[in-house]
Amino acid sequence: MKSILLTSLLLLTNVLNAQPSIVDTLELGHSIVMVTTDLPDGSNGRGSGVVVSPEYVATNCHVIANSKGVNIAKFRDGYQPIGLKANWKRDVCLLKFDPLPFKPIPMRDSQSLQYEEEVFSMSFPAGAPVPQLSYGAIKGIYPFDGSLIVRSNASFYMGSSGGALFDQHYNLIGLTTFKSPGQPAFYYSLPVEWIKELMAAPETTSLKTNDVPFWALPLEQRPYFMQVVIPYQNADWRDLKTIAGQWTGQEPASADAWYFLGLAEEGLQHYVQAEQDLKKAYDLNQRDVDAMLALSRVAFVQKDVATLESIQPAIQAIDPEQGEKVTQQIQALKQASP
């Protein structure tokens, strides 16, 4: 227990003051539960869950799919579900109970979220006996199947599936669900709208399914926001350009699509085209710091002071340290000009 608390305290030292502390989230942690399953081979599986109503705990379906049985645990007490609602392809499941002695978490729709908004997650990674905190910010919001998938840099690990992603007002904004392989890893959460929709759905009678979650399909069948990750991590700029180009063709209003296309052009040293693509990303979303920083790099190579001066205030407002670096780029270019 002491080592777990020490790990959490070390994490806390790297967080902005705005983020909640361990003490701040003690009560909130009462509504995050451990989900355990009995697997066909006789072993046990573990995941996390969130109390979203007096009767329902939300979790990921892949935590419980094709198991022989499931229950939740909190404060060394176990609770057996009496019903199940499942959307196996979306990977959202609701375990139904007789009213639980835990406070439900309020939910905030994904439509109101913003890039770079500070968030934190709570879950039971690696079978930890108490919920663990992880801090970060929203780095991507992707339209998918009638709602928005949320990507953050609040890390989570095995056992965190079905855990909670929170905003700064302790509203549930997503279920921590899947991550990319490789580095830097991308962490994705499912929208609360899917939980709300599932509450109105009929119950199912079995834990058995042949359905595969959308994020576990073959790579070419996954959403573009997932397909770009591996070539980006591997600096495979030609492959990234192909995929991002397809993405911009299908979703021309996606700032992220233009951002990744701009990264590919930057990697190929096609700086004129990269600057054009990244300007489109900036025009579509002026809160995406990663896209703005990529634009500042390319503009600096192009000695485009006007573009640097136009994006510096937006960067400064979100990340003062990076804003100062852009100011230094501007000054360096002006001093070097005849």
How far is residue 72's CA from residue 81's CA, in Å, rounded to a whole number? 8
* Residue 17 scores a pLDDT above 50: no
Mean pLDDT for the chain?
Answer: 92
Q: Computed over its alpha carbons, how large is the radius of gyration of the chain?
A: 22
Give the tens place of pLDDT for each residue, 97-153.
Answer: 999 999 999 999 999 999 999 999 999 998 788 888 999 999 999 999 999 999 999
- Predicted confidence at residue 2, as pLDDT, reads 31
> Closest Cα to residue 241, out of 223, 254, 259, 253?
259
- Mean pLDDT (whole number) for 81-95: 98
Nearest to 123 by CA among 21, 193, 24, 25: 25
Residue 8: band (very low, low, confident or very high) from pLDDT cuts 50, 70, 90: very low
pLDDT of residue 206: 93
- Mean pLDDT over 20-28 rounds to 84
The alpha carbon of residue 226 and the mean position of all alpha carbons in its chain are separated, in whole angstroms, by 12
Please answer whether residues 57 and 164 qualify as being in contact, where contact means their C-beta atoms are separated by less than 8 angstroms. Answer: no
Q: Looking at residue 76, what is its pLDDT? A: 80
Contact of 57 with 50, CB cutoff 8 Å:
yes
Q: Return the SS3 of 78.
A: strand
Express each pLDDT in 245-300 by its tens digit: 999 999 999 999 999 999 999 999 999 999 999 999 999 999 999 999 999 999 99
Of residues 169, 140, 163, the one with CA closest to residue 260: 140
Q: Would you state the pLDDT for residue 162?
A: 96
| Tens-place pLDDT, residues 144-198 | 999 999 999 999 988 899 999 999 999 999 999 999 998 889 999 999 999 999 9
pLDDT computed for residue 75 by the predictor: 80
